[in-house]
Structure 1
């Protein structure tokens, strides 16, 4: 009996030692996968922002804060008269795991909204997107298949649609291959640049490692990205036309991305008008009259993201988003020059949205709690359990050999 028991103890001890070695080397790395039941909510603090009031522009009624300015009187107030300089804005994002998901892939549905807090629903909503992204659970990168979609609402709807919000505001696009990370970094994030997908420009651009810092007692990597002024209309139109046609909802989505007004309303002198943006007024007989000028909306952002590297969880974020109108890329780049940028943000004349959003404390706490929970699981399976198994294994082996010798 002692001999049989000794064999059992030796086998169990050896198995415990093997498992103790295998857990940190093989099992734990293989277990670093995204959960199927992923859920998170993040939001920004309320912040005073610059915002084009499309309803006021559509009704040709300057905002009260500009009512006494000379350029805001008369029949054709300048474009700047409809830009609020202290509009309280917030952004919110909800992420949840959805089907199709399996042991290798997980699909995320991400809803993002930007809204003003000084108006009641539904007139407070400025824009909204619903994204569906399928990630490889092991690498945390998007799968190389055309399965990603983005549904969008018109951003600050064009003047003619601004009086009443649309009930059917989304625009469906054909599935596409998504490149770059966005809502989750790899588990085991390195100090290097990663391709980061920006759904506004529908492209991935590098986000660069800046520094290692500490947040709530944990090691955190700080990444930074700047997207230079990019015209929104071409990429958005290409996405919406991928199914072969533009629906009325699609056209509404595009309508705010290019606007045409008299040069005087843009505040332009004749020598400031670019040839490609000008169009002669059909009913104008005076050859000396200034033409209408069409401008396109450009987007730029300064983005900062803080990541807990072991779990890949984003624990803090801020985005200084700026959208403005320009006649062409050359003028957009000029407006975005530091001195001109500062002046435009302080005294907006072409701005559609300027929103310097930063995560609120509740979002940072919730995401850090998620990261710490992941770290605890890794610590338990990668260190605590292996040590326990190793000690138990050695004890079993010693007891087994002692019983074997006595038998």
Structure 2
């Protein structure tokens, strides 16, 4: 009787072990199937507390000498000017589970004139975007304030701007240019660049020449006496601001985070694109400084790691462990049943 009881207890413990292994393995397999969807919903979304500061520099730019407007003689353009472009992006209201609003304050200064003296341009851009796709929403209407003391101008748009979508593909994307206030394709180029162990996708966009005086209005026109343009006489003469640029952007594909940007903007006041009396107001080759690239690379790496573990590596590991546990349970059940 004693031996029969012991055998029953062993059989019960073996059955319990097999059932436990089957339950754990099945649970892990179910989680491995469900977690990628749940993880994507939680991880592939723009946070509601964005605070990002970037710095671009140019070592040998051409910039209109602001003081020459009030001086005698034609306008002058300084060459060999060092520039610093600061952009500070923050989250502002309105925000929701589906959308968030980003405000970008941009300031361009020449650093050879000392603190507070070399302001070249400044603007504040505001846009509400979809938190998953990064695409701008029609409402509330995006705005741009380019003139201090004046209300912002409505600037509707249809392209990405501060971030690429998650899971970036090797295709072209609509990309908004804040100077031209137009959306143009930004084309995939290559994936040759590595930063901090991450392979980045390289995109390039070329814009212009664009007559901003005609496309965005009086904010991009200047009227001065003819002699200020190097023309004979003193009659008031209006010049339109023209613009062109080539923009290169490097993106971490899993997170869609922009890690590096280079631009070659050119702006000039002229009566036509090829006006011989054109006055260059800005011409530069700008690029993110090393501190900005390193900081953005670390943010992208953190986001990439969280996304991959939450949607790929973690579920795959869970599936492997689940299969091992279920397989072990089946083997033990067959072995013990034969005994």
CA distance in 1, matches of 2:234, 2:150: 36
CA distance in 1, matches of 2:116, 2:210: 29
Alignment RMSD (CA, Å): 2.8
2:135 corresponds to: 141
Q: TM-score, structure 2 length as denominator?
A: 0.84
| 3-state SS of 2:237 partner | strand
Render the CA deviation track for 1:189-211: whole Å, top value 9, x for unaligned: 12222111111121111111122
Aligned partner (choices 171, 187, 206) of residue 150 of structure 2: 171
The range that moved more, 376-385 or 206-215, is: 376-385
CA 1:173–1:360: 2 relative to 1, 3 Å: same
CA distance in 2, matches of 1:291, 1:177: 37
The structure richer in strand per residue is: 2
Q: How does 1:57-96 map to 2 (within 5 A)?
A: 57-58=69-70, 60=71, 76-79=72-75, 82-96=76-90
Render the CA deviation track for 1:189-239: whole Å, top value 9, x for unaligned: 1222211111112111111112221222322221111211222234434xx
Aligned length: 322
Q: How does 1:182-261 map to 2 (within 5 A)?
A: 182-216=161-195, 217-237=197-217, 254=219, 257-261=221-225
Render the CA deviation track for 1:25-82: whole Å, top value 9, x for unaligned: x334433111222222211234232111222322x1xxxxxxxxxxxxxxx5223xx2
CA 1:148–1:228: 2 relative to 1, 3 Å: same
| 3-state SS of 1:10 partner | helix
CA distance in 1, matches of 2:92, 2:235: 51
2:296 corresponds to: 367
Aligned 8 A contact 1:77 1:265 in 2: yes
CA 1:177–1:11: 2 relative to 1, 3 Å: farther
1:166 corresponds to: none
The range that moved more, 380-389 or 99-108, is: 380-389
Aligned partner (choices 103, 110, 121) of residue 116 of structure 1: 110
| 3-state SS of 1:45 partner | strand
Aligned 8 A contact 2:22 2:326 in 1: yes
Q: How does 1:371-386 map to 2 (within 5 A)?
A: 371-386=300-315
| 3-state SS of 1:11 partner | helix
Aligned partner (choices 239, 243, 248) of residue 304 of structure 1: 248
1:157 corresponds to: none
CA 1:143–1:90: 2 relative to 1, 3 Å: same
CA distance in 2, matches of 1:176, 1:293: 28
Structure 1 segments unaligned to the other structure (5+ residues) = 61-75, 154-168, 238-250, 270-288, 341-347
Q: How does 1:153-172 map to 2 (within 5 A)?
A: 153=147, 169-172=148-151
Structure 2 segments unaligned to the other structure (5+ residues) = 1-11
Aligned 8 A contact 2:270 2:278 in 1: no
Please state how far the C-alpha of 1:293 moved relative to its aligned partner.
Answer: 2.8
Aligned 8 A contact 1:12 1:396 in 2: yes
CA distance in 2, matches of 1:383, 1:179: 31
Aligned 8 A contact 1:131 1:150 in 2: yes
CA distance in 1, matches of 2:279, 2:68: 15
1:241 corresponds to: none
Which has more radius of gyration? 2
CA 1:395–1:96: 2 relative to 1, 3 Å: same
| 3-state SS of 2:63 partner | strand
